[in-house]
Structure 1
Amino acid sequence: MRGTHGRILTTVIALLALQLGSLVAPAYACGCGAMIPSRAERIGVDREESAVRWDGRTETVVMRFDVHGNARRAAWIMPVPHRADVTLGDPALFDALDRLTTPEQRDRFHFWPREGDWPFDHDHGDGAGAAPPGAGGVGVVGRERLGPFDVARLTATDPDALGDWLRANGFELPERLTGALRPYVERAWEYVAVRLAPQESGATLRGELTPLRITFASDELVYPMRLSRLARTPQTLGLYVLADHRMEPRSPIGGDRPEVTFAGRIDRPEGAVADLAGARPVHLTVLEQRFPHPDRIDDDHHLRAVADVPYREIAYTERLLTVGGVPVWLLTVAGGTLLATAAALLAVRATRRRAPDDAGALPAP
């Protein structure tokens, strides 16, 4: 038993170490853009959440970043297929979406005790943990200040001119980003260029930033991803999609196969979800995808409607099988022990009864 306990404890510690490692260095994609601080500063995106609403004609992307680092300013570029309107989003949106997609809770019973079950429950801790282009090839459609965001809406006919304009206007970008923008320039896309700057003097960009809401015309549901190929570490994309049907990517575009973690019909959208999707029924699909090698990303995500098959993840709570509060394994072991003891006693008695008869018997003639 002591050896089994040790093996279980070693396994638990190894799994815990893996989990802590993933928390210390998470890597989330700036999926539809590129976030770059000034040269002397650093910034990390702990998490990017994106919600997309598409009604067949218009697409709206709401993004919220959770960032860390010492940057006082950072630049973020998002290509869009048509002219975009940019406003601040509702911070309550993602909490509402999380509640709608919470996994179904179920109990799952096990027979033999595990770590945390008696007799392996020695640790009783407190549980803490858990416009047309201008003369230079770049046109400025508009520029405005929205909370912590300085937003410029641009057109461009030359990726080099676009890069020059961005750098001249305070958007410090790596040289290779200019080349990454070329496919969008060739397709006459437009751009939302954002400078993130705290409103308090001297403050750094840290924690959850106010969501940004970007709306543009689109006859297909497209989520720009090409710029994420510039990332140097594995990336993860999480996407909420609200549309008339369940939606899934046409291809993995160089990453792992996209995973659907929720798909279902929301009959009565309310609050922040209704503000984005409207009051009529809508299908919500939640997608997760990993990009172990970002340099292999070769396209944007183009999503298509598929069969409206509902899906919800199930979160199991492991429980020890008991009867009247007593573990079944203990009852089984105790019962087996009693039966074995009784059988042994009966065997002894039978042997004793036969012994005198055998001793007094005469040998056969």
Structure 2
Amino acid sequence: MSPPLDGSPTRRRRAGAISVVIGCALGLLLAALPAVPAAACACGGVAPSPGSQVAVNEEHAIVSRAGGVEQIDLLLGMLSTDTQTGLIFPTPTPATVTLGDRADFEALDRVTTPTRVEDYDPWTTRGDGYGAPAGGAPQVLADVDLGPIRAVTLAADDAGALSTWLADNNFVLPDAVSALLGSYVERGWYFVAMKLTGEAPLEGDLDPIRFTFDSDTLVYPLELSRAATDPQTVRLYVVDDHRQVVAFDDHHPVDTASVTWAAPVTGTEVGHFGDFLTVFDLFFPDPGSQITGDLTFTDDTTDATFGTEVHVSVPLGIFGIPLGWLLIALGGILVLAVLLVVGMVNTKHS
């Protein structure tokens, strides 16, 4: 039988394995909802305890890489009816799990706040991997205590055995999510299992969770969200040497992704993540048909900045009258006055 969450030894295996994250619950609000199958979120499959319900209402992530090591800082908001809440988060190589820093997200908000540019308008009055031998049960590679969360890194070569391990440790995945685990097993990915340790349903904010793992390219796990039945949204702060383009790992474009900000960040308070920041907002009204795999990132053909300025129309006027129209009116009055004077002069001399 697979080892339970508590008391499992830490080991590393080298042949096709997976790393799983259960329970990155951050910024949580209590929701008195009926027990229904858990929904996936944009970063993976939700895994609550039996009989409970959990849903994700917010997902922000900082994706960066340096020296062949990728780092994902994940900030989630979840609705939970129980103290035991979890989430599946695959990574291509074993992940080290630590607490992130909420101040990084606050700094990103400051850095990506556009500069106000006033455009004066005289015409209006207001502006407008590794692996494990085949056939084995999941093996615990690492076990860390993060205060309110306990994280266990797993290696697994069998999706069925992995689901059994999760069920034995009181994590129940929807069938649709379990069916997608095999894809990660076949690719030799890992799973990190995270479990909340509170004594009451989560109602407050938790710090972001940080995952670091070896990777030759930037990736963001998304495929498990194909099982979601509700629309999914996610904001990604992607930091690398250049502006980035996002696509699915099967090379399909992400039609519902939009770049909301792009510019160099060297020398700013988030410059330690990398040189150039690209912010993506993704929305999937129909995850089952629109999500075709995990996300990958490549250099764009240009480092053009975007979203760094917001242009605000500032009306110019006097007593509520647009200056442009006022000048036209004054000009018209002046012309009429000149014509009147000329007419009076012509009349006097005639």
Q: TM-score, normalised by structure 2?
A: 0.74
CA contact (8 A) 2:46 2:88 kept: yes
Quick one: distance in 2 between partners of 1:283 and 1:293? 31
Residue number in structure 2 paired with 1:89? 100
Measured after TM superposition, the shift of residue 107 of structure 1 is 2.0
Say whether the 8 Å CA contact 2:243–2:300 is kept in structure 1.
yes
Does 2:223 correspond to 1:230? no
Please give the residue correspondences for 1:215-254 in structure 2 after superposition, counting only pairs within 5 Å. Answer: 215-251=212-248, 253=252
Q: Which residue of 2 aligns with 1:264?
A: 263
Aligned to 2:55: 44
**In the alignment, structure 1 residue 211 sits paired with structure 2 residue 223:** no
Moved more, 211-220 or 301-310: 301-310
Query: Structure 1 stretches of 5 or more lacking a match?
Result: 1-27, 117-130, 354-365
Residues 128-147 of structure 1: CA deviation (Å, up to 9, x unaligned) = xxx84697521111223212
Query: Any idea what SS the aligned residue of 2:235 has?
Result: strand
User: Aligned equivalents of 1:93 and 1:60: distance in 2?
Assistant: 13
Query: C-alpha distance in 1, partners of 2:58/2:329?
Result: 52
SS of the aligned residue for 1:75 comes to: coil
CA contact (8 A) 1:75 1:195 kept: yes
Question: Which protein is richer in helix relative to its size?
Answer: 1
- Matching residue within 115, 120, 125 for 1:113: 125
8 Å CA contact 1:59–1:215 kept in 2: the answer is yes
Taking the aligned partners of 2:203 and 2:271, their CA distance within structure 1 comes to 26
What code does the residue aligned with 1:210 have? D
Match in the other structure for 1:306? 300
Task: Tell me how far apart the structure 2 counterparts of residues 29 and 269 of structure 1 sit (CA, whole Å).
Answer: 35
Amino acid at match of 2:203: R
Cα distance in 1 for partners of 2:191, 2:202 equals: 23
Question: Kindly tell me: are residues 170 and 253 of structure 1, through their superposed partners in 2, closer, same or farther at Cα, counting changes over 3 Å?
Answer: farther
1:317 and 2:329 are equivalent in the alignment: no
Contact residue 171 and residue 195 of structure 1 kept, 8 A: no
- Structure 1, residues 89-110: CA drift from partner, whole Å, max 9, x if none? 1121111112222112122444
Q: Which has the higher contact order (CA 8 A, sep 6+)?
A: 2
CA distance in 2 between counterparts of 1:107 and 1:246 reads 27
Residue type of the alignment partner of 1:293: D
> Which one of the candidate residues 291, 304, 309 is aligned to 2:284?
291
Q: Distance in 1 between the 2:106 and 2:76 partners?
A: 14
Question: CA 1:181/1:253 → structure 2, altered by over 3 Å: closer, same or farther?
Answer: farther
Q: Structure 1 residues 114 and 267 mapped into 2: Cα distance closer, same or farther (>3 Å)?
A: closer
Between the two proteins, the alignment pairs up a number of residues equal to 297
Task: Report the CA distance shift for 1:171/1:39 in structure 2 as closer, same or farther (over 3 A).
Answer: closer
Q: Specify the SS of the correspondent of 2:61.
A: strand
Check conservation: 2:45, 2:173, Cα contact below 8 A. no
Percent of matched pairs sharing the same residue? 35
Judge conservation of contact 2:40–2:224 (CA < 8 Å) in 1. Answer: no
TM-score by length of 1: 0.71
Partner SS for 1:37: coil
Cα offset, 1:38, TM superposition: 3.4
CA distance in 1, matches of 2:319, 2:124: 17
Rg larger in structure: 1
Residue identity in the other structure for 1:112? T
**Structure 1 residue 317: Cα displacement:** 2.8
What is the Cα-based RMSD across aligned positions, in Å? 3.3
Q: 1:207 to 1:74 in 2, by over 3 A?
A: same
**Structure 2: how far apart are the matches of 1:308 and 1:254?**
18
Give SS of 1:250's match.
strand
